[in-house]
């Protein structure tokens, strides 16, 4: 069933596990993630960046593809289609209009006041039609599609500002940037758990951990303990998909049917996603 993130994240926070946001990049990603969720009996969030939506053919195509696959696979677990790092009110409205059940408005590059104003307007529109909203403060390092920030320019969200943003906007969940990075980490991640705990206590809403690729299990567990109820993963699925493709092509240099290596990529993504669902504790929670 297609739902917003609201209920699944409240459940997750209450019961100390996290729901994975797995980004979709094409048909095979979508197939793999939906199959993994159904087989693990896990709620799932399909993350769609603006770049990925563009690549696939637009928001409407994405929603149609997801709905058709859910029908085809007889998916019964809760699924949310979520705009990842929405860049403007217009993009959020377009996604909602196309049938997305959740949006993120990423106003983190704006000064606090503007971020709050922008997020407020998105919440107004989204909540009117039952769509959940995620906001962000601070700066996540690394690069994801159009979102680029040097690791050096990444900075940690300030708890009092997080509290103010959540309180004034009414968002359903909130991503405080606390040292996580998009793409692979250089060395061990250095997550600001003290601040995470503070943000949890101040805001009370489910928190979101971006840059889920490459975070050690002990840190995942800590993050969940400190209120993270949603963890975003993209790069790790991409890495396993591409590794599988390389292996097939290396073993069979004469292979020319893309379905042969794309099916392997799909299997690899599915395995990765299932592993994350178990690690995050969302397996069996649907
Ligand atoms: O918004 C998406 C995530 O934060 C993805 O991060 O590619 O490092 O797993 P990742
Ligand atoms: Zn992100």
CA–centroid distance, residue 4 to ligand 2 (Å): 18
Residue 164 lies in a domain: yes
CA nearest to 112, candidates 150, 148, 166? 166
Which of 71, 84, 106, 172 does the annotation list as catalytic?
A: 84
The rounded distance, in Å, linking the Cα atoms of 75 and 24 is: 17
pLDDT in tens, 149-173: 555 557 899 999 999 999 999 999 9
Whether residue 84 lies in the annotated active site: yes
Residue 140 lies in a domain: yes
Token representation of residue 5: 């993130």
pLDDT in tens, 204-255: 999 999 999 999 999 999 999 999 999 999 999 999 999 999 999 999 999 9
Burial of residue 99, with CB atoms counted within 10 A of its CB: 0-12 exposed, 13-18 middle, 19 or more buried = middle
Task: Categorize the per-residue pLDDT at 142 as very low, low, confident or very high, splitting at 50, 70 and 90.
Answer: confident
Residue 216 structural domain: 6-280
Instruction: Kindly provide the ipTM of the predicted complex, given to two decimals.
Output: 0.99
Atom of ligand 1 nearest to the CA of 84: 1
Atom 6 of ligand 1, nearest CA residue = 211
With a cut of 70, say whether residue 148 has pLDDT above it.
no
Give the mean pLDDT of 187-202. Answer: 96
With a cut of 90, say whether residue 141 has pLDDT above it.
no
Token representation of residue 180: 């996580």
Q: Which single residue is written with the structure tokens 């609201």?
A: 6
Task: Quote the pLDDT of residue 149.
Answer: 59
CA nearest to 43, candidates 25, 18, 68, 71? 18
Residue 192 lies in a domain: yes
CA–centroid distance, residue 256 to ligand 1 (Å): 31
Residue 286 lies in a domain: no
pLDDT in tens, 71-84: 999 999 999 999 99
Give the mean pLDDT of 178-201. Answer: 95
Residue 285 lies in a domain: no
Burial of residue 181, with CB atoms counted within 10 A of its CB: 0-12 exposed, 13-18 middle, 19 or more buried = buried
pLDDT in tens, 8-61: 999 999 999 999 999 999 999 999 999 999 999 999 999 999 999 999 999 999
In the chain, the number of structural domains is 1
Segment (H or E) for 55: helix 50-56
Task: Categorize the per-residue pLDDT at 186 as very low, low, confident or very high, splitting at 50, 70 and 90.
Answer: confident
> Which residues make beta-bridge pairs with 232?
21
The rounded distance, in Å, linking the Cα atoms of 47 and 82 is: 5
Query: Residue 138 belongs to a domain with what CATH number?
Result: 3.20.20.70
Q: Coil, strand or helix: which one is 128?
A: helix
Segment (H or E) for 130: none
With a cut of 90, say whether residue 261 has pLDDT above it.
yes
Task: Quote the pLDDT of residue 147.
Answer: 59
Atom 2 of ligand 1, nearest CA residue = 232
Residue 258 lies in a domain: yes
Token representation of residue 26: 């094409």
Q: Coil, strand or helix: which one is 212?
A: coil
Residue 1 lies in a domain: no
Q: Which of 144, 145, 207 has most ligand 1 atoms within 8 Å of CB, for mutation?
A: 144
pLDDT in tens, 90-138: 999 999 999 999 999 999 999 999 999 999 999 999 999 999 999 999 9
CA–centroid distance, residue 181 to ligand 1 (Å): 8
- Distant-in-sequence, close-in-space partners of 76: CB < 8 Å, separation ≥ 6: 1, 38, 286
Pocket of ligand 1 (CB under 6 A): 23, 47, 84-85, 144, 182-183, 210-213, 232-236
Concatenate the DSSP letters of all residues of 66-94 into one string.
Answer: HHHHHHHTT--S-EEEEEEEE-SHHHHHH
Give the mean pLDDT of 188-215. Answer: 97
Task: Categorize the per-residue pLDDT at 146 as very low, low, confident or very high, splitting at 50, 70 and 90.
Answer: low
Distance spanning both ends of the chain, measured CA to CA? 11
Q: Which of 20, 82, 147, 232 has most ligand 1 atoms within 8 Å of CB, for mutation?
A: 232
The rounded distance, in Å, linking the Cα atoms of 267 and 265 is: 5
Task: Quote the pLDDT of residue 152.
Answer: 55
Ramachandran assignment for 255, one of left (phi > 0), alpha (psi -120 to 50 degrees), beta (any other): beta
The rounded distance, in Å, linking the Cα atoms of 106 and 85 is: 5
With a cut of 90, say whether residue 198 has pLDDT above it.
yes
CA–centroid distance, residue 232 to ligand 2 (Å): 7
Give the mean pLDDT of 257-267. Answer: 98
Task: Quote the pLDDT of residue 70.
Answer: 98
Residue 225 lies in a domain: yes
CA nearest to 190, candidates 232, 158, 225, 151? 151
């Amino acid at each position: 069933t297609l739902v917003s993130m609201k209920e699944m994240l409240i459940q997750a926070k209450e019961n100390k596990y996290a729901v994975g946001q797995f980004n979709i990049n094409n048909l095979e990603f979508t197939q793999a993630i939906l199959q993994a969720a159904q087989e693990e009996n896990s709620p799932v969030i399909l993350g769609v960046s603006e770049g990925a939506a563009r690549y696939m053919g637009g928001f409407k195509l994405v929603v149609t593809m997801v709905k058709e696959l859910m029908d085809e696979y007889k998916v019964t677990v809760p699924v949310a289609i979520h705009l990842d790092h929405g860049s403007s009110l217009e993009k959020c409205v377009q996604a909602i209009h196309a049938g997305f059940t959740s949006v993120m408005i990423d106003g983190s590059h704006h000064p606090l006041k503007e971020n709050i104003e922008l997020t407020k307007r998105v919440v107004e529109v989204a909540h009117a039609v039952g769509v959940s909203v995620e906001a962000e403060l601070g700066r996540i390092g690394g690069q994801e599609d159009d979102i680029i920030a040097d690791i050096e320019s990444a900075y940690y969200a300030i708890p009092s500002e997080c509290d103010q943003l959540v309180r004034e906007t009414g968002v359903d969940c909130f991503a405080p940037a606390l040292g996580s990075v998009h793409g692979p980490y250089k060395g061990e991640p250095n997550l600001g758990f003290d601040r995470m705990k503070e943000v949890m206590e101040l805001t009370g809403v489910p928190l979101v951990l971006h840059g889920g690729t490459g975070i050690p299990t002990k840190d995942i567990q800590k993050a969940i303990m400190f209120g993270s109820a949603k963890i975003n993963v993209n790069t790790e699925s991409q890495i396993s998909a591409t590794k599988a493709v390389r292996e097939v092509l290396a073993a069979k240099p004469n292979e020319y049917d893309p379905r042969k290596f794309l099916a392997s990529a799909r299997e690899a993504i599915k395995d990765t996603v299932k592993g994350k669902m178990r690690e995050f504790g969302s397996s069996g929670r649907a």
